[in-house]
Amino acid sequence: LAIIIPENGAKVSKIKCSQFAQQTLITDSNKYTISRAMLNFTANFTTDYGPQFAFVIMSMIPMLIIYLFLHEKVEAGMLAGAVKG
């Protein structure tokens, strides 16, 4: 019984998170994720590449800023994991 309860707890939390995402993030266009919001630039027969590429660049800027501040820790972590023994 002690083994079954933790396994079910993860499944229940996953179901609740997906239900929350469906109710809030997917139905409200103001709360789309970046990848979902990019689909607004495509239509059935046309694609606006200019705004789509601008959107990609704008979505990359926060990650680049975070990397610029934390690049030493990122590189140290990658090197620490690559060294044997």
pLDDT at 76: 86
Cα–Cα distance, 69 to 59 (Å, whole number): 17
Question: For all residues of the chain together, what is the average pLDDT?
Answer: 75
Q: What average pLDDT score do residues 13-33 get?
A: 69
Angstrom distance (rounded) from CA 31 to CA 23: 11
Residue range 45-62, pLDDT digits in tens: 877 788 888 888 888 898
Confidence (pLDDT) at 26:
66
pTM (predicted TM-score):
0.49
What is the average per-residue pLDDT within 7-27?
A: 67
